[in-house]
Structure 1
Amino acid sequence: MNIETQNTVNGWKLYTLSNQHHMSVSLLNYGGIITTINVPDRHNNIENVVLGFKNHADYAQNPNFLGALIGRVAGRIQGASFTIENQVFDVEANEGTHHLHGGASGFHQVIWAASPFQTKDTVGVVLTHTSADGEGGYPGTVEMTVTYTLTNNNELIIDYAATSDKTTALTLTNHSYFNLTGNVARTIHNHHVTIACDEFVELDNELIPTGNKLDVTNTPFDFRTGRLIADGINSTFTQNIVAGHGYDHYFILNPKQTEAIRVEDEVSGRVITIKTDQPGVVMYTSNNLTEGLELAEGTSKRYDGVCFETQASPASLHHEDFPTVLLEAHVPYDKQTVFSFSVVK
Structure 2
Amino acid sequence: MKLRIFLPIALLGLTALHANAAAPAAITTTTFGRLPDGQEATLYSLVNAHGIRADITDYGAIIVRLFTPDRAGRLDDVVLGYNSLEDYVKATPYFGAIVGRYGNRIANGKFSLDGRTYSLATNNAPADIPCHLHGGKVGFDKVLWSATPAIAGNVPSLRLRYRSANGEEGYPGNLEVTVTYTLGNDNTLRIDYLATTDEATPVNLTQHSYFNLKGEGRGDILGHVLTIKAAHTTSVNAGLIPTGTLAPVADTPFDFTTPHAIGERIDQAGDEQLKFGGGYDHNWVLDSQNGALALAATVFEPLSGRTLEVWTEEPGLQFYSGNFLDSSKVGKSGRPYHYRNGFCLETQHYPDSPNQPTFPSTILRPGKEYRTSTLYKFGTR
Q: State the number of aligned residues.
A: 343
Residue equivalent to 2:208 = 175
Query: After the TM superposition, which residues 202-241 of structure 1 pair with which residues of structure 2 at under 5 Å, given as runs?
Result: 202-236=235-269, 237-241=271-275
The structure, 1 or 2, with the larger RCO (C-alpha pairs under 8 Å, 6+ apart) is 1
Which of the two has higher C-alpha Rg? 2
Q: Which letter does structure 2 place at the counterpart of 1:5? A: T
CA distance in 1, matches of 2:191, 2:197: 20
CA distance in 2, matches of 1:93, 1:61: 19
8 A contact 1:166–1:330 mirrored in 2: no
Give CA deviations for 1:190-239 in whole Å, capped at 9, x if unaligned: 11011100110111111111111100000111111111110242212221
- State the SS of the aligned residue for 1:341: strand
Q: Does 1:340 align with 2:368?
A: no
Q: 2:66 aligns with which of 26, 29, 37?
A: 37
Pick one of 130, 144, 148 that aligns with 2:177: 144
Q: 1:265 aligns with which of 278, 292, 301?
A: 301
The aligned residue for residue 107 of structure 1 is 140
Whole-Å separation in 2 of the counterparts to 1:62 and 1:294: 11
2:93 pairs with 1:64: yes
Which structure 2 residue ranges, 5 or more long, are not aligned?
Answer: 1-24, 35-39
Aligned ranges 1:167-316 → 2 under 5 Å: 167-236=200-269, 237-244=271-278, 246-255=279-288, 258-297=294-333, 298-316=335-353
CA distance, structure 2, for counterparts of residue 183 and residue 95 of structure 1:
27
State the secondary structure of the residue aligned to 1:241.
helix
Moved more, 255-264 or 77-86: 255-264
4+ aligned runs moved over 4 Å, structure 1: none
Distance in 2, matches of 1:172 and 1:194, equals: 23
Partners in 2 of 1:105 and 1:258 — Cα distance? 32
Alignment equivalent of 2:54, drawn from 25, 28, 33: 25
Query: Is residue 2:32 matched to residue 1:8?
Result: yes
Distance in structure 2 (CA, Å) of the matches to 1:65 and 1:289: 12
Instruction: Give distance in 2, aligned partners of 1:183 and 1:313.
Output: 29
Matched ranges for 1:120-159 at <5 A: 120-159=153-192
Q: Is the 8 A contact 1:22 1:40 kept in 2?
A: no
CA-based RMSD: 1.2
CA displacement, residues 139-181 of structure 1 (integer Å, 9 cap, x when unaligned): 0100110000001110100000000111100000010000001
TM-score (norm 2): 0.88
- Deviation track 1:21-44 (CA, whole Å, cap 9, x = no partner) reads 221000110000001100110011
**CA–CA distance in structure 1, aligned partners of residues 31 and 274 of structure 2:** 42
**Partner AA of 2:355 in structure 1:** H
SS of 1:286's equivalent? coil
Q: Which moved more, 1:226-235 or 1:1-10?
A: 226-235
SS in structure 2 of the partner of residue 223 of structure 1: coil
